[in-house]
Structure 1
Amino acid sequence: MDNHLPEAFRMKMRLLLGEEEYQAYLASFGQERYYGLRSNPLKLAAEELLELAPYRLAPVPWCPTGYYYEESARPGKHPYYHAGMYYIQEPSAMIPAELLDVQPGDRVLDLCAAPGGKTTQLAGKLQGQGWLVANDNSLDRVKALTKNVELAGIRNAMVTHETPDRLAARWPEAFNKILVDAPCSGEGMFRKDEDMIRQWEKHSVAVCMGMQAEILRDAAAMLAPGGRLVYSTCTFSPEENESMIAEFLRQHTGFRVVPAPAAHGFVPGRPDWAAQTRGADTPDEAEEQTAGAVRLWPHRIKGEGHFAVVLEKDATPVASEPEPVRLESKPAKGRKGSAPARTTAPDLTPWEQFVKDNLTQPLPGTPVMFGERLYLAAAGSPPVAELKIYRPGWYAGELKRGRFEPSHALAMGLSRGDARRVLALPQDSSRVIRYLKGETLEVAEAELECSGGVSSKGYVLVCVDRFPLGWGKWNQGMLKNEYPAGWRWV
């Protein structure tokens, strides 16, 4: 496939790398690709996935929850994928979230989040504590992002689709951890996806640089004193990497680069490339700091091309906290059931009755209504001020005409022990696939696990082994399938 590389790209890479390493890079196009997935800590420990997976896994050295798998394994065609037990992700793409060093209780923003791989990785590190905002300014991409948030069973995430400048105006210094996986020219993905080569020829590096600079500026405004920001791209271009960071540091003197460990075959950033881009013989002070970044090259590691740098904001506290503007929130336009958040307290009796009848314990979060839809917002979530909110929290279900209908997202965020009625099917059961296809199942009453003295009739949490797949409604030996049509096994 290296024959398809644009000549301008070839000339640039030969100049940057030198002939010997350039040839090693070209040779990587004739080598096998590496495929990866991450276990979901919200569902199970990484070691448990090793025991349960019916295919061979090998650890990704820079990600404790990451594994390589063989292409023939096809983990996306296994019921465990539909249980949200893992996320399929290119191995190099796992490094930015690792460098962000998220801890339980952090306030985290994934600013360019779709389709959600890094969002799910960050949520796993939070372990349900603190809160996470996942944002993307494309409505179509936000839909994929939301599905992955729900599949992973994330309870403490808000999904927005806004421009970074609007978020920055309303959430100044609101986050102590921010990930900017910036839109870029995608040179690091040429080996993986030939379409990225065609896109590179259409979209100039200069256009990407303009977007990146604006996103970084707005991210800096949303980072709290002492907070950490990770900027990453999947391109080799020094203009979008070292030069971008050097210019950011010149304009934001309260930031510094925290050197990332150059382990696992990673190589340090290249201040000299930034200086060359500027037309200088030697790097200046800002460019020198970019040596603390890391570059991932496909001829040096088992993965594709990537760049990442850790930025830390000075810990000097601000004189006073800005008073947030608290206006009526606006859900995403075009979303089924969209409506402004209620200004009067809704009658939550049907929801409370559902919890009493079907769950073993109350659930965390503050109830928020968008039309008929009920969400559970994480404690301490940032205020919404006329922002485009796609999900203000964990989507619980709908209040309709005095009754409550649970959502699929609610089922995916539960554990087996949270439900009063459970049907646990082994992963090799044909009924698992039939359930995922939306079929009604014959289920003997004795197969149900009921707790708290409830009758067998009612909502059942259907699981593969001990991991939730979705809802069913049992009555007289038949399980009516509640698995959503858009999620079904094809």
Structure 2
Amino acid sequence: MHANIELPAEFLAQIQSSMPAHLSMDAFVDACQRPLRRSIRVNTLKISVNDFCQQMQAKGWHFEAVPWCETGFWLTRPETETTPLGNTAEHLAGLFYIQEASSMLPVTALLADNEVPHLALDVAAAPGSKTTQLAAAMNNQGALVANEFSASRIKGLFSNIQRCGIHNVALTHFDGHVFGGWLPESFDAILLDAPCSGEGTIRKDPDAMKNWSPESIDAIAQVQRGLIESAFHALKPGGVMIYSTCTLNQTENQSVCHHLKETFGDAVAFEPLNHLFTNADASATEEGFLHVWPQIYDSEGFFVARIRKLDAVDAPKVKKRLGKFPFMAAKTKDQQAIAQALHQSLNIEIPAQSEIWLRDNEVWLFPRALTPLIGEIRFDRIGIKLAEQHKKGYRWQHEAIIAIAKGNEACCVALSTEDAQSWYMGRDIRPEGELSQRQGEVILCYQSQVIGLGKWVGNRIKNGLPRDLVRDGNLFSDC
């Protein structure tokens, strides 16, 4: 199946001038007209790759491995399956993330040395594909700052983080240029998937070229140069930064990286990615960057560079004006009381790498690795909200249960398909049998996965799903 996407003549001339001689323009144009293959990434915070594949192959799903991501797959579903992929039970439970295969490359490149960062920054995080991929690789250890400049995209970013069961992330809402001055040499690793002209996304978005022009590319590249400088300042000496885009021109890709090298000299080292995966060399540039043309791997167009900071550099000086931080670290006796209450009511343990912080009647779990940054920059949100305290105890929160419950707690209630559908549609449910004699809060599971928190009221479980997560129908079936 081919689309009929119009490619501007000036754009094609630019591609012709920069595409390596061994690649074909006809193959490029043909690839741009083909729809993208659907791809997903298994969320190993929730399920192993083997278990997920076995579970879904039984439903007729067919997987083809993405060569640069051990948790990524191109997916083919039976034609008879009409439920939108985002409304499948497995997606709602956070078992996988719908992610274009090429966009899995930056995190793979970041982890190429098998060193998982302790403190990382994702400069342009929404909608969360790379944030959730890196958090899974970190196994919820350490801390990850996910920044998004667009206010309208923060809600979706948080929703994806929550669905995937992540509790080591803090959200910020800034222009990415601020990090170099506010948090100089603070991060072990930085992802800068820079805003770009989006030339590589044509197969997914036929309107991607609607506002394309050489002038817009120059303007975007100027922004990118500022972002990469700031990110480099925020990187610790010895740390690694990934610079990536989903565009194809060299002005926004190679030239931005060379600008960084010209600015900071010997402090910048380009680390080649030629052997990142089988056949990576097919897209490698002479510097060892990956310039992925869509016809090479039948994917989106993409660019990835791995950059090592060899020496410290002088960061911009800024005057910080921060309001009072509204949280306080819980005292030892309060920590013990909260942990004991959580264990008694839901049989859940506080993660060892988390700290309990309090704000008014709210109880939060902050990633311990983030503590040094508190008071240095303003955060929109840190970690997860565990509970609200009231006169009779604690009201545990959905986001915390999704993140830290295992599904084998004594208070778990396994739901039927019909009850699980009703749950996601915001309705109270009435499971049959002896469970209806129970009282208090319970963890709800479907297909052995935690999907929420409810409370017995008489013979029904009161729905505790946050309103913004309620679905209006066309959900999974038991097929």
User: Secondary structure of 1:81's match?
Assistant: helix
The alpha-carbon deviation at position 186 of structure 1 amounts to 0.3
Equivalent residue number for residue 433 of structure 1: 421
How has the CA–CA distance of structure 1 residues 185 and 32 changed in structure 2, closer, same or farther, with 3 Å as cutoff? closer
Q: Is the 8 A contact 2:415 2:446 kept in 1?
A: yes
The alpha-carbon deviation at position 163 of structure 1 amounts to 2.4
CA distance in 2, matches of 1:446, 1:103: 49
Alignment of 1:234-313 (within 5 A): 234-253=246-265, 254-261=267-274, 263-266=277-280, 267-270=282-285, 291-313=287-309
CA distance in 2, matches of 1:371, 1:484: 21
How has the CA–CA distance of structure 1 residues 313 and 489 changed in structure 2, closer, same or farther, with 3 Å as cutoff? same
Equivalent residue number for residue 221 of structure 1: 233
CA distance in 2, matches of 1:63, 1:329: 42
Alignment of 1:387-426 (within 5 A): 387-400=377-390, 403-417=393-407, 419-425=409-415
Q: Is the 8 A contact 1:186 1:200 kept in 2?
A: no
How has the CA–CA distance of structure 1 residues 291 and 167 changed in structure 2, closer, same or farther, with 3 Å as cutoff? closer
How many residues matched? 450
Normalising by structure 2, report the TM-score.
Answer: 0.86
Normalising by structure 1, report the TM-score.
Answer: 0.84
CA distance in 2, matches of 1:414, 1:292: 40
User: What is the aligned counterpart of 2:327 among 332, 336, 341?
Assistant: 341
The alignment status of 1:357 with 2:344, answered yes or no, reads yes
User: Secondary structure of 2:454's match?
Assistant: strand
How has the CA–CA distance of structure 1 residues 33 and 16 changed in structure 2, closer, same or farther, with 3 Å as cutoff? same
Equivalent residue number for residue 487 of structure 1: 469
The alignment status of 1:59 with 2:46, answered yes or no, reads no
How has the CA–CA distance of structure 1 residues 105 and 306 changed in structure 2, closer, same or farther, with 3 Å as cutoff? closer
CA distance in 2, matches of 1:212, 1:408: 38
Equivalent residue number for residue 70 of structure 1: 76
CA distance in 2, matches of 1:305, 1:169: 32
Q: Deviation per CA, 1:413-460: give whole Å up to 9, x if none.
A: 02335744101236xx22211111111111246348xxxxxx931111
The alignment status of 1:147 with 2:159, answered yes or no, reads yes
Q: Is the 8 A contact 2:233 2:313 kept in 1?
A: no
CA distance in 1, matches of 2:289, 2:422: 48
User: Secondary structure of 1:368's match?
Assistant: strand
Q: Is the 8 A contact 1:433 1:489 kept in 2?
A: no
Q: Is the 8 A contact 2:172 2:379 kept in 1?
A: yes
Equivalent residue number for residue 363 of structure 2: 374
CA distance in 2, matches of 1:386, 1:434: 44
Q: How many percent of aligned residue pairs carry the same amino acid?
A: 27
How has the CA–CA distance of structure 1 residues 142 and 202 changed in structure 2, closer, same or farther, with 3 Å as cutoff? farther
Q: Is the 8 A contact 1:329 1:389 kept in 2?
A: no
Q: Deviation per CA, 1:4-55: give whole Å up to 9, x if none.
A: 2222212211232369711110011343421111111111111111011122
CA distance in 2, matches of 1:103, 1:489: 39
Matched to 1:258, the amino acid is: E
User: Secondary structure of 1:204's match?
Assistant: helix
**What root-mean-square deviation, in Å, do the aligned CA atoms of Structure 1 and Structure 2 show?**
2.9
How has the CA–CA distance of structure 1 residues 483 and 125 changed in structure 2, closer, same or farther, with 3 Å as cutoff? same
Q: Is the 8 A contact 1:265 1:300 kept in 2?
A: no
User: Secondary structure of 1:114's match?
Assistant: coil
The alignment status of 1:458 with 2:446, answered yes or no, reads no
CA distance in 2, matches of 1:202, 1:488: 43
Matched to 1:459, the amino acid is: E
Q: Deviation per CA, 1:57-105: give whole Å up to 9, x if none.
A: 2211110000111265643121111111110001111111111006446
Q: Is the 8 A contact 2:119 2:142 kept in 1?
A: yes
Gaps of 5+ in 1: 271-289, 331-339, 449-454
Q: Is the 8 A contact 2:140 2:166 kept in 1?
A: yes
Equivalent residue number for residue 107 of structure 2: 97
User: What is the aligned counterpart of 2:98 among 88, 101, 105?
Assistant: 88
